[in-house]
Structure 1
Amino acid sequence: MDSVQCPIPVVDFSAWSNGSSEDKKRLAQELTEACRQVGFVYIINHGVPSDALGEAFSWSKKLFDLPEEKKMLAPHPPGPTVHRGYSWPGLEKVSQDIIKDGEEAKEADNRKIADVKESYEIGSEESKTQPNVWLPEEVLPGFREFTMQFYWKCFEAAKEVLRALAIGVGLEDEDFFLRFHSGENNQLRLLHYPPVETEKLSSNTVARMPAHSDWGTITMLFQDDCGGLQVEHPNRPGHFVDATPMKNAMVMNVGDLLMRWSNDFLKSTLHRVTLPPAEDKQQIDGRLMTRPRYSIPYFVSPDPQAVIECLAVCTDEKHPIKYEPVVQEDYRRMRARGQYAEAPAAPIAVS
């Protein structure tokens, strides 16, 4: 599948907070049009302070620089039910496939090509369904305090995006989506892609993160300067567009539940992390390797018992209802079934 060029729109959100009603309508329309056509958009002046972003990436590097035995003091719980704590390379397998009970053979086949990445998942301390798994404070002093502050900073920015999308799809109440999002079911994810041989990636011996859509309402992604993220071309299925890093920009994309809410008016687009551009590769001991890559996605999801059903403003005779109502927790469990096996995988070598 080739990478082809297609611009991902850029929306400047600076006029949102203090702008006129006309400014808000204009930005809402720009944002919604990007989500309708591509499903991905760069947002600049998004409200998450640049110094907080810099500190978040600094903490992420400190975390992943820890020895394996230290990171394993906060292991991701077995199975797909609770998605928190440290996931070592080879534990998670991202896929677009839905794995159902009794499909162990399909699950095993899905895991033949391992994902070479490690991550740490953090949520609200108030969540009863997704309790956090923390490192002991003495292992990384200050990490817990900072990441919880950053988690809620991100949600403040997310609320404004949700308000803009409500206006953009034609809802009279800009707080409509906020009634389903307390912030307690979101997820802050710190991601590290260690260096890996480019030949292994290009030959599909290993993967970084295969093509998939996100499960929730929206995702807000902050990435470092190392490329590799790609988005499926809106008009050419199977062809992918580079989402080139843009300093301090947020890459925002539509999730499956927002696509269902909008009756497919907004697009939950496949995306992947694969081989970076040539400038993001390096020679190590005579082998061509990727540079390490760090990214921080913030997944915005409805509360667990929220019912997502197609909005009346997104349905008419030409656009009949495509989806039955679904409960967030039911949809999450269905999508998570194949991502984390009941029996945890052993760590894999990353070079």
Structure 2
Amino acid sequence: MLCLRPLHLAARTALKTRCLVTVAQDLSSFNIPVINFAKFREASSSSEKQKTANEIVSAFRETGFIYLSDHGIPQETVKNTFRKSAEFFKMPMETKSKLAWEDPRSNRGYVKIGRERVTQSADPAEIASLRAKAPDYKETMEIGRDWDSEWKNQWPEERDAPLFKRTMLDFYQICHDLHADVMRAIALGLELNPDFFDQKINEQCHNLRLLSYPPIKRSMLEVEGQARAGAHSADYGTLTLLFQDSVGGLEVQNPHTGAFIPATPIPETIVVNVGDLLARWSNDLLRSTVHRVVAPPSRLTESDDQLVTPARQSIAFFCNPNFSTEVSCLPNCGKEMKYPPVNAGAYIVGRLAVTYT
């Protein structure tokens, strides 16, 4: 233990004040960095690749979120996927309801407004109470890998949604390929072999979620606990790739202060966050950060002078390990495991089962 000379009261007070100011500055400096992924994908040297990998891991340790720029997915591909998503949600409710989500083991199909209630809780009774009081105000379409013999995707008829299936399957594959690249960067940043995760994610057990947030009166969102999507820790798997429109609404919680800060849309970037299973895998070295979707700025309607939030679209690609993978503490992530090993598939299905009605 260090032995310090006694300080006069004034000196001690000044030192304490400087320390408090420094801590306050550190806590208020929470931000989501923009990382140019081309520097990893197109690196001309191993040191350049390692530098970007270290930046990604550092950001995931500090905030759990990054904006990924120059990610390799053409902007026209993203725009076309948004167009097809919008066309899907404009279909009649009767048509969409025929494709209804049925089972957490499949996690496929259409989810109407109010059926899901995302939350930090894992208690079924508490979630049911929250859903009854303040359901999430959004509708979604869930799509998985298309070659499962047991769990089938719920596709609309081609005449109802031309090229919808082809567009979503192509986008699913593109997102998987990006996920694999980012996981290689994470492996390097954790001082593992870059291919460490390759055979643990290659079965593509992911979930492509199309989201539509319809316009809603601001007064409805002022109900206690109500949000377009409730506050919850990062999602269930390894990573989430989030494609936003320009409306905004995503907020990320500063883990030091508890305050939520906007993840303002940045054109041609993808918001990437650490999922719960990757946080467990890394022994919480990589941060699972609470986030939510709230109402963006409202506008007055001409008919009744009510404040109404604009419609919002987003597309989330929830990346998962192979469902047979055992998730336990990674090498280089601590000597004592915070969590017991868990089967990836059982964990994800269990979380989904209590989230939906």
Q: Would the TM-score normalized by the shorter structure come out above 0.5? A: yes
**Which residue identity is paired with 1:288?**
L
Post-superposition CA distance 1:124-158 (Å, at most 9, x none): 11235642111122211210011101100111111
Matched, 1:236 2:236: no
Post-superposition CA distance 1:246-304 (Å, at most 9, x none): 1110000000111111111000111100121x3xx222231111110000010110111
Post-superposition CA distance 1:147-204 (Å, at most 9, x none): 1011001111111100000001111x10111211024201111000001111221333
User: Any conservation in 2 of the 1:37–1:234 contact (CA below 8 Å)?
Assistant: no
- Matched with 2:166 is 145
Matched, 1:41 2:41: no
- Matched with 1:120 is 141
The secondary structure found in structure 2 opposite 1:248 is: coil
Deviation (angstroms), 1:106: 3.3
TM-score normalised over the length of structure 1: 0.89
- Matched with 1:73 is 98
**Which residue identity is paired with 1:95?**
T
- Matched with 1:283 is 300
Q: In the alignment, which of 63, 69, 72 is matched to residue 88 of structure 2?
A: 63
- Matched with 1:154 is 175
**Which residue identity is paired with 2:54?**
Q
The secondary structure found in structure 2 opposite 1:188 is: strand
The secondary structure found in structure 2 opposite 1:289 is: strand
- Matched with 1:296 is 315
- Structure with greater proportional helix content: 2
Matched, 1:13 2:34: no
Matched, 1:339 2:319: no
- Matched with 2:107 is 83
Q: CA 1:33–1:5 in 2, change beyond 3 Å: closer, same or farther?
A: closer
Distance in 2 (alpha carbons) for counterparts of 1:327 and 1:183: 15
The secondary structure found in structure 2 opposite 1:146 is: helix
- Matched with 1:134 is 155
- Matched with 1:349 is none
User: Any conservation in 1 of the 2:30–2:63 contact (CA below 8 Å)?
Assistant: no
- Matched with 1:211 is 231
Distance in 2 (alpha carbons) for counterparts of 1:259 and 1:176: 16
**Which residue identity is paired with 2:117?**
K
Distance in 2 (alpha carbons) for counterparts of 1:203 and 1:73: 31
Distance in 2 (alpha carbons) for counterparts of 1:131 and 1:185: 13
User: Any conservation in 1 of the 2:253–2:290 contact (CA below 8 Å)?
Assistant: yes
User: Any conservation in 2 of the 1:95–1:338 contact (CA below 8 Å)?
Assistant: no
The secondary structure found in structure 2 opposite 1:338 is: helix
Where do 1:218-229 residues align within 5 Å?
Answer: 218-229=239-250
User: Any conservation in 2 of the 1:10–1:43 contact (CA below 8 Å)?
Assistant: yes
Distance in 1 (alpha carbons) for counterparts of 2:58 and 2:139: 34
Distance in 1 (alpha carbons) for counterparts of 2:340 and 2:150: 24
User: Any conservation in 2 of the 1:42–1:250 contact (CA below 8 Å)?
Assistant: yes
- Matched with 2:122 is 98
User: Any conservation in 2 of the 1:86–1:120 contact (CA below 8 Å)?
Assistant: yes
Distance in 2 (alpha carbons) for counterparts of 1:314 and 1:206: 37
**Which residue identity is paired with 1:305?**
S
Deviation (angstroms), 1:110: 2.5
- Matched with 1:254 is 274
Q: Which runs of 5+ in 1 are unaligned?
A: 342-351
Higher relative contact order (CA 8 A, sep 6+): 1
Q: In the alignment, which of 269, 292, 314 is matched to residue 333 of structure 2?
A: 314
Deviation (angstroms), 1:222: 0.4
The secondary structure found in structure 2 opposite 1:144 is: helix
Matched, 1:177 2:197: yes
User: Any conservation in 2 of the 1:195–1:290 contact (CA below 8 Å)?
Assistant: yes
Deviation (angstroms), 1:13: 0.9
The secondary structure found in structure 1 opposite 2:57 is: helix
Based on CA coordinates, which of the two structures has the bigger radius of gyration?
2
Distance in 2 (alpha carbons) for counterparts of 1:288 and 1:35: 37
Moved more, 261-270 or 128-137: 128-137
Distance in 2 (alpha carbons) for counterparts of 1:111 and 1:241: 25
Post-superposition CA distance 1:55-99 (Å, at most 9, x none): 01111111111121121231111x533311111111111122113
